[in-house]
Amino acid sequence: MTEHKQRILTQKEYQQMAKANEPKRPVLANCVRAFLVGGIICLIGQGITDFYIFCFGFTEKSAGNPTAATLILLSVLLTSLGVYDHIAQWAGAGTAVPVTGFANSMASAALEHRTEGYVLGVGSNMFKLAGSVIVFGVFSAFVIALIRTLIAMIGGV
């Protein structure tokens, strides 16, 4: 009773159709926007660093910490006010790459999962998106430092 339908289209043929149909991402425009916004965030970071050096007596090396904390605070505020995601849609990597992106990934997850309570909701889910940065950062630092240290030891011996 069931006539075996001939394959009208192979998967490969359709995937080619779909690819041709997909709008090209505006790579150049996205890069320009990312450059501008990323650059401006770093400019603001530089300003904050100098502010801590001149007004609070930090050194160039130690001012990095409060700078990061300040940028993170600003990013968390913008996320909480519901504004960050709109800026990010426009800026793309411009907001994701600076430490603001890290802060946003944690704040947005924390806000979202508050409805599941503070322990299992906020506490467990806060690192949902930021976790991989920490895990891979730590692990790659471990590997690299291990290689460096072993080389130094062998070189020293």
Partner 1 sequence: MQIYFWAFVVGGLICVIGQLLLDVGKLTPAHMVTVLVVAGAILSGLELYQPLIDFAGAGASVPITSFGNALVQGALSEAKRSGLVGIVTGIFEVTSAGISSAIIFAFLASLVFRPKG
Partner 2 sequence: MKQGSQSWVFTNCPVIVGAAVVGGPREARGPLAEDFDLLHDDLLFGEKTFEKAEKKLLEEACELAVQKAKLQKQDIEFFIGGDLLNQIISSTFTGRTLSVPYLGVFGACSTSMESLALGALIIDSRFGGNVLCGTASHYAAVEKQYRYPTEYGSQKPDTAQWTVTGAGAVVLGPTGAGPRVVSATIGKIVDMGLKDPFNMGAAMAPAAVDTIAAHFQDLAASPSDYDLIITGDLGRYGHQLTLELFPKYHIDMPEEKYVDCGMMIYSREQPMRFAGGSGCACSAVVVFGHILNRMRRGELKKVLIVATGALLSPLSYQQKESIPCIAHAVAIEYTV
Within 105-144, the residues that bind partner 2 by CB under 8 A are 105, 107-109, 111-113, 115, 128-129
Give the whole-angstrom CA distance, residue 102 versus residue 71.
Answer: 10
What string of DSSP letters covers 60-81?
A: TTTTHHHHHHHHHHHHHHHHHT
Give the whole-angstrom CA distance, residue 10 versus residue 14.
Answer: 6
Among 92, 122, 124, 133, interactor with partner 2 by CB under 8 A = 92
Among 55, 57, 61, 89, interactor with partner 2 by CB under 8 A = 89
Q: Which does 151 bind (CB under 5 to 8 A by kind): partner 2, partner 1, none?
A: none
Interface segment toward partner 1; rule CB under 8 A; list 1-9, 10-18, 132-140: 132-140
Q: How many CB atoms lie within 10 A of CB 68?
A: 17
Among 51, 87, 97, 124, interactor with partner 1 by CB under 8 A = 97
